[in-house]
Structure 1
Amino acid sequence: MAEELSYVIVTPYSIRKSRTGGILARLISRTGLDIVAARMFAPSAELVEKYAASIVTDPEPRHRATQELIRKYVLQNFTPGKGGSRPRVLLLVFKGEDAALKLRSTVGHIVNERTSGETIRDTYGDYMADANGEVTYFEPGVLAPPDAVSARADLLLWASYSDADGGLLDEAVSFPTGTKVEKTLVLIKPDNFRFPNARPGGVIDLFSRTGLYIIACKVHRMSVAQAEEFYGPVLDVLMDKLRGRSGETAKALLEKEFNITLSSEVQTKLGDLLGPINGRENWEQIVKFMAGLKPSDCPADKRHEPGSEKCIALCYQGVDAVRKIREVLGPTDPSKAPPGTIRREFGSTIMVNAAHASDSPENAQREMGIVNIKENNLKPLIESWFGK
């Protein structure tokens, strides 16, 4: 069976209620599909109208009635407000065999659902009707196309508006005048994507307790050049940090091997010699972990190509964003992280530690520039896939 592209849209209500992580966890772990793109949108009235017009397609009366309900919901909840405010929605794109059907099955139906929590809409959707069958409250949680044909048309539509209506939504969230608002970068690291599982969503779910707002989301494959620049400040730290340990280890090995005694002065010289070597090797392993290749193994003409490892880059916005995110993340070493932190829950080593978060607003700006958080990599993917 040929691979397909399909999508799920996380609704404004689900985003406001911090349900994005739980939804993503189910979409990845229950479908086994590969998440290949993600982009935040603040849809314009024009995009909303065109998308809403494409929703009602089913000739069967019962299903058509549900689609009419969804069309009305989109017009009411995706359309910009009178004051110019635009709701945030998140478009997630998945690839794999029978992608549209798998996503649709995981999302579930909204009418007459069992309350077992089996599907996303079981858990996050609501459908309430009065004694006369009139709908009094409706929240689908997420939106997904009914089939591959609809998925193609919808993805091409959203791609065509992805520059104007999507990206880094700096102005999407309003704050009181005078509020000191920060932006910070989070990377959900490649160790969460070794196989389809709930971890990426679980990481986002824990970050949600900060009360911050997601204003950008991107599936990113870091190039070797980007990883070198991103982790550049770490190189000198590692080279210096490992001097003492390298000298101590080398002294012990040499004394054992040659049955000699070396002075502390010799140990210092060994550290000065080997510390930078060990530091660079550790640094190269970090680059390889993030990009798939060590700098010393990467041909010059491949340094700027997207790497083989995948991460999800997120920009969070809010008051005291840097501190709040790093408190939930926990220290670099998972074994020293407090219970309930992301690195304690999901990390395994100092390098394989689930996520990265900027340590200052200034570094957040630098790092967002390196991973190009504003980049629209959704549009070329969709247009290339469908041959437009």
Structure 2
Amino acid sequence: MSEELAYAIITPYSLHKSRTGGIIARLISRSGVELVAARMFAPSAELVSEYAQQVVSPDDPQEKRIQELIRDYVVRNIGPEPKSQRRRRVMMLLFKGEDAVRKLRAVIGNFSPHRRGGETIRDTYGDLIIDENDNVHYFEPAVLAAPTPAEARTKLLLWAKYSDTDGGVLENVIQYGPGEVPERTLVLLKPDNFKFPSGRPGNMIDFFSRTGLFIVGIKVHRMSVAQAMEFYAPVRETLRNAVKERVAVRAKAALERELDIKIPEVEQRQLGEMLGPLYAESQFDNIVRFMSGSSPRECDPSKLTEPGTEKCIALIYEGVNAVAKIRSVLGPTDPSKAPPGSIRREFGANIMVNAAHASDSPENARREMRIVDVGENLFRRTVEEFYGVA
């Protein structure tokens, strides 16, 4: 069976109610297909109008009445707010794999007023309330998805067409009160979360949701060696200064044990000065390899800027005191010292394999967002390359 592209659009209400993490956790862990791209959208009236026209389909297994409810929902709830014309946020997730459309749709589920429980995403996060007279009182689909590969192609090409004008790192989509000054900060869900399909990435997003911040950018990113070297350059300098004493102590102990000699304090410091930088470079190489799949020494110079083999998810959060709020939930670098309930305590293994990165200042956030380039339109590139559309 050939590979397919499939998509899931997380609705504005699901984003607003912080259901994003739970939805992503199920999509990644239960579908058996790979998340290959993601992009935030603030759909225009034009995109919404074209998309709504494609919703009702004879090929959709859902009854026509439900399809019409989804179409009407798209018209009313996906486009700009009627009064303020402020754009609403949606999150587009792109998956790839064999039989991807059917597998993703099975996890998302179909609507029925008779379904109970939480087997599918729509069972848990969607709502369809019908009274005794068969009138619909409330409808929330939670996630939108295509029913067939052909319709996935049509709709993905439509969203790709608008992905530069309506998508990327969103601006002016959140309303703030008087005197509130928002910040933006970068979060990276690190490669250790993608060794096998699991709910970890979504679960961490769920943890971050308790900050009350808003996701305005998302990207599935494969960091190049050059990007990793630039991104972690401040760590490189810190390592060079921080490890000298520790290396000196370890080197002294090893030499005294091996050679049965006593090393004076002056020579111990000299060992640190000599071996510390070497050890720091080795540790820096390990960080770059962990994030990109290759160390600077292993990588062919001509391939330094090529996307790496390791995957992460980059997220931009926006809100008041965003940097401090995210880092509070994340926890300190060393998971063993992180408080219970923090992300690194729950998901981290050691100082390097510690689940996620978050910017430590607004200035560093701007620097890191520039390096990772969350606004890069990999969604459109992936869609058009897959379908052979230039």
Deviation at 1:62, TM superposition (A): 6.3
The letter of the residue matching 2:36 is: V
Q: Distance in 2 between matches of 1:62 and 1:326?
A: 43
3-state SS in 2 of match to 1:373: coil
Match of 2:347 in 1: 346
Output the CA distance in 1 between the equivalents of 2:58 and 2:6: 18
Aligned partners of 1:249 and 1:130: how far apart in 2?
A: 73
How far off is 1:115 after superposition? 2.3
1:321-340 matches, within 5 Å, as 321-340=322-341
Secondary structure of 2:216's counterpart equals strand
SS in 1 for 2:178: coil
**Which stretch has the larger CA shift, 169-178 or 311-320?**
169-178
Equivalent residue, structure 1, for 2:50: 50
Contact preservation (8 Å) 2:10, 2:142:
yes
Greater mean alpha carbon deviation, residues 338-347 or residues 373-382: 373-382
**Counterpart position of 1:360:** 361
Where in structure 2 are the equivalents of 1:87-166 lying within 5 Å? 87-166=88-167
Whether the 8 Å contact between 2:348 and 2:354 is mirrored in structure 1 is: yes
Partner in structure 2 of residue 281 of structure 1: 282
Contact kept, 8 Å, 2:113 with 2:129, in 1: the verdict is no
Is contact 2:61–2:147 with CA below 8 Å preserved after alignment? no
> d(CA) in 2 for partners of 1:178 and 1:113?
48
What residue is the counterpart of 1:67 in the other structure?
67
Deviating 4+ runs (over 2 angstroms): 59-62, 112-115
Alpha-carbon spacing, 1:212–1:59, altered in 2? closer, same or farther (3 Å): closer
Structure 2's unaligned 5+ residue stretches are: none
- Deviations along 1:288-314, one digit per CA (max 9) or x if unpaired, are 000110011111110000000001000
**Preserved contact between residue 79 and residue 86 of structure 1 (Cα < 8 Å):** yes
The reply to whether residue 30 of structure 1 matches residue 30 of structure 2 is yes
Q: 2:310: which partner in 1?
A: 309
Is the 2:207–2:343 contact (alpha carbons within 8 Å) kept by the matching residues of 1? yes
Aligned match of 1:228? 229
Count of paired positions: 388
TM-score normalized by structure 2? 0.98
- Residues 99-156 of structure 1: per-residue CA shift (max 9 Å, x gap): 0000110001122353221100110000011111111100011011111111111111
1:383 and 2:384 aligned? yes
* Partner AA of 1:378 in structure 2: F
> Within 2, Cα distance between the matches of 1:123 and 1:62?
18
Deviation at 1:338, TM superposition (A): 0.3
Maintained 8 Å contact 2:62/2:110: no
Contact 1:113 1:122 survives alignment (8 Å):
no
Cα displacement string for residues 11-66 of structure 1 (whole angstroms, at most 9, x for unaligned residues): 00000000000000000100121100000000000000000000111278961111
Identity %: 58
Decide whether aligned partners of structure 1 residues 127 and 285 sit closer, same or farther in structure 2, where only a CA change above 3 A counts.
same
> Compared with structure 1, are the counterparts of its residues 332 and 61 closer, same or farther at alpha carbon in structure 2 (3 Å cutoff)?
closer
CA distance in 1: counterparts of 2:112 and 2:49, whole angstroms = 24
- Provide the C-alpha distance between the structure 2 equivalents of 1:136 and 1:11, rounded to a whole number of angstroms: 19
Which residue type is aligned with residue 182 of structure 1?
Answer: E
Shift in Å, 1:341: 0.3
**Residue 358 of structure 2 aligns to which amino acid in structure 1?**
A
Instruction: Kindly report the root-mean-square deviation, in angstroms, between the aligned alpha carbons of the 2 structures.
Output: 1.1
**1:84 CA displacement:** 1.8
CA distance in 1, matches of 2:328, 2:254: 40
Deviation at 1:324, TM superposition (A): 0.3
* TM, length-normalised to structure 1: 0.98
Q: What amino acid is the match of 2:236?
A: L
The one-letter code sitting in structure 2 at the alignment partner of 1:30 is R
1:294 maps to 2:295: yes
1:273 and 1:91 map into 2 onto residues whose CA distance is 51
Matched with 1:210 is: 211
Task: Provide the C-alpha distance between the structure 2 equivalents of 1:104 and 1:60, rounded to a whole number of angstroms.
Answer: 11
